[in-house]
Structure 1
Amino acid sequence: MSRFTHFVAIDWSGAVGARHKAIAMAVADASGGPPMLVTREKGWSREEVLHVLRDDLPQDTLVGLDLGISLPFVDEGAFFPGWEGSPPDARSLWDLVERISGEDEHLSVSSFVDHPRISRHFRRHGGREGDLFGGGRGRFRVTEIAQAQQGCKPYSNFNLVGAAQVGKSSLTGMRMLHALQGEVPVWPIDPLPATGPVIVEIYTTLAAIAGGRTAGRAKMRSYEELNMALRNLGSEPVGGTGPIDDHSSDALVTAAWLRTVAHDPALWSPEAMTGEIARTEGWTFGVP
């Protein structure tokens, strides 16, 4: 039995602008029933999501954020190897992102990715690949390597190009995580507390696979596909027929999946996650 009473999944966005149709939030109640979308008429702003996480969560809520809570560190022994300003751990990385991008509107991070020294590590639009990006698909965290071993296709958080990239989402998310310091613990950078809300990183493909999809067919764009996955997770279906946007379906199926697996102690103690990894790179909940 999980200690959590509610399970929230948030499909995040790093796109430019004040409001984002790509941000979706869903909540599942531990007592059962279908997961439910929490909507805003004109789309969520990142600041509104921050407000919910800081001020409006039920006491014992598990929150899954679909973003990377850190950057690769273990492979090179640093986030930005060769730079004396490279932070020593994830919280210091969040601090750095906020210090450099604090004046950017809507929790955006343009100043960070355009920083003369830091930009050398990123692949940016317009064919701008930093000389320290590393080539190929870029650098990966240990948890992302483990995701690939499960059949997923993770992207490097240093890659900011392409529809499937998660780099911008991750960096904007770090500004939100910085603002939540002292308010909501972020596992595994913080230990799992006995009570209260907790934030974890999620990868919605893992939830889709648990719901009977494949990694290549993880996106569900109809209520029929979504409800089949929910039934496979032991959840009641949601109301509706026909098309549904994949941001909403990602959030709904992942909220239901969190409710199903949060009680599993093995997922809170991944075999490959050392103390150094937890402190620097973090981990994706659900990766064993």
Structure 2
Amino acid sequence: MNAAAHGGPRFRHFMAIDWSGAVGPRQKGIAVGLCDLSGAAPQIVRPRDHAVWSRQDVLDLLLHDLPDDTLVGLDLGISLPFADAGAFFPGWNESPGDARALWALIDAVCAGDADLCATSFVDHARASAYFRRHGGREGEQFHLPGAAHRRGRMRVTEEAQARAGCKPYSNFNLVGAAQVGKSSLTGMRMLHRLGGTVPVWPIDPLPARGSVIVEIYTTLAAVAAGRSPSRAKMTTFEALADALAALGSPPARGSGAIDDHTSDALLTAAWLRRAACDPALWQPAELTPELACTEGWTFGAA
């Protein structure tokens, strides 16, 4: 199929959301970058009525204020490992059969958790057996029997990220500065509450028109901009400008220090503008129909 069939030229806006699973009503780790087809530099999007985003603010943005024909990248895992064991939670009779059912389960268990938190799910009497939690609490099913490493279960797309030189972490891991489990679980609650308003590729088919959400890994954008995985984070506007230039983008306005959430969002928005036109990124070789509806995929992972 040509690039047009995979949506690249039809997108008019490109948004990258650096997400956060931190507890609390607002998350300083959330940043939103946006650019369009004009070729202008990406800009930071601020919440309407506050200096700091909340997860609910982001949900409202996606539901009500998303520019037309936007490719939205969410920096979180949109699902959990499934292919390695034929189930998200092997041995649990309530284990969902696909990603959307997983989102619904997490949101239902966490119905009493404010701010789209997911504490109730990771502390759930049955679900907790699959997670590595703080305080040395590693569930007895965090690893599969005979696991080749101790980093926890990985999705197929995370294995692809590793082949690209990245260091992905299991979405079942909730410990450490680089963990992505909390972000992913809170993000799944948000995706469930979107109710299908915005399709989530590849769990949903890529539509012929309109906005689409994809999972992103900001390190892939940094690598595409010429940085190594170990130097993916940029903390000055000057470093960000060099990376943006490598993607054919003008520099973002500013000088001196910048937090890495903001730089990730700006760079990845510019990368999405460029990457969306690559048909190969919409049809990774390992992405089967079953994998699409269970584990999903990270846009840009070969």
Compute the TM-score of the two structures, normalised by the length of structure 1.
Answer: 0.99
Kindly state the Cα deviation for residue 183 of structure 1 after the two structures are TM-superposed.
Answer: 0.4
CA distance in 2, matches of 1:217, 1:58: 32
Stretches of structure 1 lacking an aligned partner (at least 5 in a row) = none
Provide runs of 4+ in structure 1 moved above 3 Å.
Answer: none
1:72 corresponds in structure 2 to 81
CA distance in 2, matches of 1:228, 1:37: 18
1:116 corresponds in structure 2 to 125
Residue 197 in structure 1 maps to residue 211 in structure 2: yes
Stretches of structure 2 lacking an aligned partner (at least 5 in a row) = 1-7, 144-148
Task: Tell me which of 21, 43, 52 is aligned to 2:61.
Answer: 52
Kindly state the Cα deviation for residue 42 of structure 1 after the two structures are TM-superposed.
Answer: 3.0
CA distance in 1, matches of 2:9, 2:275: 9
Q: Percent identity?
A: 66
Q: Are 1:3 and 1:263, in contact at CA under 8 Å, matched by a contact in 2?
A: no
- Provide, for residues 224-278 of structure 1, a one-character-per-residue CA deviation record: whole Å limited to 9, x for no partner: 1000000000001111111100000000000000000101111111111111110
1:245 corresponds in structure 2 to 259
Kindly state the Cα deviation for residue 102 of structure 1 after the two structures are TM-superposed.
Answer: 1.3
CA distance in 1, matches of 2:34, 2:175: 30
Task: Tell me which of 5, 8, 18 is aligned to 1:11.
Answer: 18
CA distance in 2, matches of 1:167, 1:65: 14
Q: CA-atom RMSD, angstroms?
A: 0.9
Alignment-mate amino acid for residue 105 of structure 1? A
- Provide, for residues 195-223 of structure 1, a one-character-per-residue CA deviation record: whole Å limited to 9, x for no partner: 01100000000000011100000000000
After the TM superposition, which of the residue ranges 34-43 and 278-287 deviates more from structure 2? Answer: 34-43
Kindly state the Cα deviation for residue 103 of structure 1 after the two structures are TM-superposed.
Answer: 1.4
**Secondary structure at 1:220's aligned position in 2?**
coil
Kindly report which structure 2 residues correspond to 1:209-220, keeping only aligned pairs within 5 A, or say none: 209-220=223-234
Alignment-mate amino acid for residue 278 of structure 1? A
Task: Tell me which of 201, 215, 220 is aligned to 1:206.
Answer: 220
Kindly state the Cα deviation for residue 59 of structure 1 after the two structures are TM-superposed.
Answer: 1.7
Q: Are 1:101 and 1:110, in contact at CA under 8 Å, matched by a contact in 2?
A: yes
2:146 corresponds in structure 1 to none
1:126 corresponds in structure 2 to 135
Task: Tell me which of 40, 53, 60 is aligned to 1:33.
Answer: 40
Task: Tell me which of 230, 248, 252 is aligned to 1:234.
Answer: 248
Task: Tell me which of 2, 10, 15 is aligned to 2:9.
Answer: 2
CA distance in 2, matches of 1:73, 1:87: 10
**Secondary structure at 1:139's aligned position in 2?**
coil
CA distance in 2, matches of 1:2, 1:70: 27
- Aligned residue pairs total 288
